[in-house]
Structure 1
Amino acid sequence: MEVQALTRYARMSPMKMREVARTIQGRKAPEALGLLSIIPRKSARLIAKTLKSAIANAENNNNVSADELIVHRALIEQGPVLKRFKAGARGTAKPRRKGMSHIRIVLSDGTNS
């Protein structure tokens, strides 16, 4: 059985978030939470929040213990991009692209049903 949680429009670029998401795939949920708590990055805090939500979904909706859950997939998808400009040299405008991410954490209890 799979349980998931989704955080949309997280204000961080997907490339930065994927570095942290790769470290938790395949780990047990409590171990992944412990690992995220010691990583000193903003993306780790955002992913940990989504992981806690996925664990709560599994416990409340499916009556599954958190100790049995494994992080099956941690997907970071591209969200919309804010397009801004900053003043450049000699009166020019320099574009800035501020990316957003959608975080999807899928937990599995190890069974295929």
Structure 2
Amino acid sequence: MGKEKNPRRVAENEALAKARMLRTSPQKLNLVAQMIRGKKVDKAMAELTFSKKRIAADVKKCLQSAIANAENNHNLDVDELIVAEAYVGKNLTMKRGRPRARGRFGRIVKPFSELTITVRQVEEQA
């Protein structure tokens, strides 16, 4: 009389990781996510390691989590993984303000975003 197992959200040869509440705008985060889409995971890790973008460290952490999920939870071979998807979504926005001239109020928005990375195992062609 136990609970039924949840169906998988991704295919059998895929693993997923999410990073939420990343303190950057989705537009800036998407520039970094674009760098790794479709690449092998070792190449993507190297790109993120040497990137000058501040948020690249958080993207690298999320990618490492996706690789660990693939290896430990789904028994996939790490050497055959590629970054199948890397997409960005909006999260909350903190509203702050700054007093301006003539009694006006300058609105400052501090956006957060979230990142989803899916890795897929592909067999190498000989």
TM-score range, shorter chain: over 0.9
Q: What's 2:119 paired with?
A: 107
Instruction: Give the fraction of aligned pairs with identical amino acids, expressed as a percent.
Output: 37
What is the aligned length?
Answer: 111
Structure 1 segments (4+ residues) deviating >6 Å = none
Q: What's 2:98 paired with?
A: 86
Q: TM-score, normalised by structure 1?
A: 0.93
Q: Do the aligned residues in 2 keep the contact of 1:30 with 1:66 (CA within 8 Å)?
A: no
Structure number having the greater helix percentage: 1
Q: 1:47 aligns with which of 59, 76, 79?
A: 59
Q: 2:85 aligns with which of 73, 88, 96?
A: 73
What do the CA deviations read for 1:24-56 (whole angstroms, capped 9, x no partner)? 000001110011001011121111010000001
Higher relative contact order (CA 8 A, sep 6+): 1
Letter in 2 for 1:36: L
Structure of larger gyration radius: 2
Q: What's 1:15 paired with?
A: 27
Q: 1:2 aligns with which of 14, 27, 42?
A: 14
Structural RMSD (CA): 1.2
List runs of 5+ in structure 1 lacking aligned partners: none
Q: What's 2:108 paired with?
A: 96
